[in-house]
């Protein structure tokens, strides 16, 4: 379905981003990977699916590095047809204790980076009259939790950005949508589970059950493969008129 297209996925060296990159590669898309840590293994995993993969290590908190990454993608593949804004970080603290440096980093990486990649990707998408922007927001783009002021503000911001750009592109073949996962068992969430177990003096398994029980009625994690499947759907012709949506995949979290 996506043969000949190029997908750039930010924060795709692990977790949700890597799974979405692989799901798009399975449909034939060439991939630009980004993120910290080891890039050789993720690149090899994508290439094993029979597509071309490139890696750019831009720090999503640095606009000039984002510009360099977008130029790099265009130079290697001509243009970016599918942009997945996925890079994200978390920090948990009450607002009065929230380190201002963590606030700035979360807003920069989880929200402002999507503004930069989007503004740089849209012109070529408009010219081709086809494009997909998929923003990985969160259930926290729709509802809040205590101690996550920066993350909730950034993710609500991502949902707003999604709607605004979807309206600006509404008469074109470019669609812009957000995906709002509930709990997904990745490094980002494992850290919160481990911190909770240590703080409350309970086992990791108990902390995991408590975490799910608090928010996610299905009591099951959303999987990275399920999120990859939704991203593929949003790239399909069936999704041509899905525009400006914040699509939850959260085991019922935001139905409550």
Q: Binding segment for ligand NAD among 54-62, 91-99, 169-177, 209-217 (CB under 6 A)? A: 54-62
Site residues (CB under 6 A) for ligand NAD, limited to 80-109: 86-89, 109
Q: Residue 184 CB, nearest distance to ligand NAD (Å)?
A: 4
Q: Binding segment for ligand NAD among 75-83, 92-100, 169-177, 179-187 (CB under 6 A)? A: 179-187
Measured from the CB atom, the residue of 34 and 169 that comes closer to ligand NAD is 34
Q: Binding segment for ligand NAD among 14-22, 44-52, 204-212, 234-242 (CB under 6 A)? A: 14-22
Q: Which of 1, 3, 4, 37 is in the footprint of ligand NAD by CB under 6 A?
A: 37
Q: What is the 3-state secondary structure (H, E, C) of the chain?
A: CCCCCEEEECCCCCHHHHHHHHHHHHCCCEEEEECCCCCHHHHHHHHCCCCCEEEECCCCCCHHHHHHHHHHHHHHHCCCCEEEECCCCCCCECHHHCCHHHHHHHHHHHHHHHHHHHHHHHHHHHHHCCEEEEEECCHHHCCCCCCEHHHHHHHHHHHHHHHHHHHHCCCCCEEEEEEEECCECCHHHHHHHHHHHHHHCCCHHHHHHHHHHHHCCCCCCECHHHHHHHHHHHCCHHHCCCCCCEEEECCCHHHC
Judged by CB under 6 A, does residue 14 bind ligand NAD? yes
The number of residues that bind ligand NAD (CB under 6 A) is 29
Residues that bind ligand NAD (CB under 6 A): 11-17, 34-37, 59-61, 86-89, 109-110, 136, 138, 181, 183-184, 186-189
């Amino acid at each position: 379905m996506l043969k000949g297209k190029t997908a750039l996925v930010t924060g795709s060296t692990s977790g949700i981003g890597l799974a979405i990159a692989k799901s798009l590669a399975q449909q034939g898309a060439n991939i630009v990977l980004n993120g910290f840590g080891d890039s050789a293994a993720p690149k090899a995993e994508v290439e094993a699916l029979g597509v071309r993969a490139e890696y750019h290590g831009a720090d999503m908190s640095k606009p000039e590095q984002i510009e360099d990454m977008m130029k790099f993608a265009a130079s290697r593949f001509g243009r970016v047809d599918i942009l997945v804004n996925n890079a994200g970080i978390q920090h948990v603290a009450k607002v009065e204790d929230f380190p201002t440096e963590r606030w700035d980093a979360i807003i920069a990486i989880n929200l402002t980076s999507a503004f930069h990649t989007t503004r740089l990707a849209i012109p070529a998408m408009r010219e081709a009259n086809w494009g997909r922007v998929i923003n990985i927001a969160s259930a926290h783009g729709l509802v809040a939790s205590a101690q996550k002021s920066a993350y909730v503000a950034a993710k609500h911001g991502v949902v707003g950005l999604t709607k605004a750009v979807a309206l600006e592109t509404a008469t074109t073949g470019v669609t812009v949508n957000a995906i709002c996962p509930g709990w997904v068992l990745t490094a980002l969430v494992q850290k919160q589970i481990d911190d909770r177990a240590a703080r409350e003096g309970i086992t990791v398994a108990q902390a995991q059950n408590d975490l799910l029980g608090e928010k996610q009625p299905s009591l099951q994690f959303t999987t990275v493969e399920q999120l990859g499947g939704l991203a593929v759907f949003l790239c399909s012709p069936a999704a041509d008129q899905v525009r400006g949506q914040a699509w939850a995949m959260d085991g019922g979290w935001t139905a409550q």
